[in-house]
C-alpha cells in the first residue's frame, strides 16, 4: 500500500511539475469578436432643415430626412434638395429658379466656409424678395450643418457682385435669423 501511495504521489508531483514547465499552450484560442457597433453611419437617419419662402418674404423651415449623418461635406445634397423644391402642400414657395444647377460645392473646414457655384439660371431669382429668398434659402440651409458658419455664392465659377441687384455677394454671408417665419411678429 505504501508503494502504491508513493507511486500516486510521485505521479501527481510529476504532473504538477509538467504543468509549470513554462511550455506555452499551443492550443488555438478562439478570437474574441469585437462588439458590433449599434448602427453603422450609413444606416442612421437624420433630420435636416431646408429653407423655402413665404408670400410675405420670410423663410419657412422644412424638415427632410436623409440617410447618414449631416456633415458640412454633404452640403451639396441639401442644395440639390432645395433646387428640387418644397414638399409642403401649403403656400410654401420654392426659392431656387428652375434650371439652376450646382456646378461645384466646396467646404473649407479651417474657415467654416461653404462655397457654392451655381449655373447662370440662378439669375432668375428676380426682384428684391426673390433674390433675398434665394440667397438666404441657400445660406440658412447650409449653416444648419455643423461646421458651416458662412457661405460664398459663385455663378458660373466667378464671383458676382449680386444675383439681381439687391444682395452683395462678394463677401461670404452668414445666417440671417431675422428672415425666419417663426421670428415674425404675430
- Predicted pLDDT at 40: 52
Looking at residue 183, its pLDDT comes to 80
The answer to whether residues 112 and 150 touch, using CB atoms and an 8 Å cutoff, is yes
Q: 137-153, pLDDT tens digit by residue?
A: 999 999 999 999 999 99
The pLDDT of residue 13: 47
Determine the pLDDT at residue 157. Answer: 97
> What is the pLDDT averaged over residues 146-174?
97
Q: What per-residue confidence (pLDDT) applies to 38?
A: 47
CA distances from 92 to 3, 108, 123, 156 (A): 102, 32, 21, 28
Q: Is the pLDDT of residue 160 over 60?
A: yes
Handedness of CA 77, 79, 85, 90 (dihedral sign): positive
Question: What does the pLDDT read at residue 19?
Answer: 52
Q: What is the pLDDT of residues 4-56, one digit of tens each?
A: 444 444 544 454 554 544 444 444 545 545 444 444 545 899 999 999 999 99
- Rounded-to-5 percentages of helix, strand, coil across the chain: 35, 25, 40
E strands of the chain, at which residues?
45-53, 59-67, 102-108, 113-118, 150-155, 158-159, 173-174
Q: What is the DSSP letter of 147?
A: T
Per-residue model confidence (pLDDT) at position 182? 84
| Whole-angstrom distance, CA of residue 145 vs CA of residue 108 | 13
Q: State pTM to two decimals.
A: 0.76
Q: What is the DSSP letter of 62?
A: E
Taking the alpha carbons at both ends of the chain, their separation in whole angstroms is: 106
Q: pLDDT tens digits for 55-95?
A: 999 999 999 999 999 999 999 999 999 999 999 989 999 99
pLDDT digits (tens, 9 = 90+) for 121-130: 999 999 999 9
Helices and strands: H and E segment counts in the chain: 3, 7
Q: Specify the pLDDT at position 53.
A: 96
Amino acid at each position: 500500500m505504501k508503494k502504491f501511495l508513493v507511486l500516486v504521489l510521485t505521479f501527481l508531483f510529476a504532473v504538477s511539475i509538467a504543468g509549470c514547465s513554462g511550455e506555452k499552450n499551443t492550443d488555438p484560442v478562439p478570437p474574441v469578436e469585437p462588439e458590433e457597433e449599434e448602427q453603422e453611419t450609413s444606416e442612421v437617419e437624420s433630420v435636416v432643415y431646408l429653407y423655402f419662402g413665404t408670400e410675405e418674404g420670410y423663410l419657412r423651415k422644412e424638415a427632410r430626412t436623409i440617410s447618414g449623418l449631416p456633415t458640412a461635406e454633404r452640403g451639396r445634397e441639401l442644395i440639390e434638395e432645395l433646387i428640387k423644391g418644397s414638399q409642403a402642400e401649403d403656400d410654401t414657395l420654392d426659392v431656387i429658379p428652375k434650371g439652376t444647377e450646382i456646378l461645384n460645392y466646396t467646404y473649407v473646414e479651417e474657415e467654416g466656409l461653404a462655397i457654392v457655384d451655381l449655373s447662370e439660371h440662378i439669375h432668375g431669382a428676380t426682384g428684391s424678395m426673390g433674390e433675398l429668398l434665394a440667397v438666404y434659402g441657400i445660406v440658412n440651409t447650409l449653416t444648419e450643418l455643423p461646421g458651416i458658419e458662412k457661405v460664398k455664392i459663385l455663378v458660373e465659377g466667378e464671383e458676382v457682385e449680386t444675383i439681381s441687384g439687391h444682395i452683395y455677394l462678394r463677401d461670404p454671408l452668414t445666417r440671417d435669423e431675422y428672415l425666419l417665419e417663426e421670428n415674425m411678429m404675430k
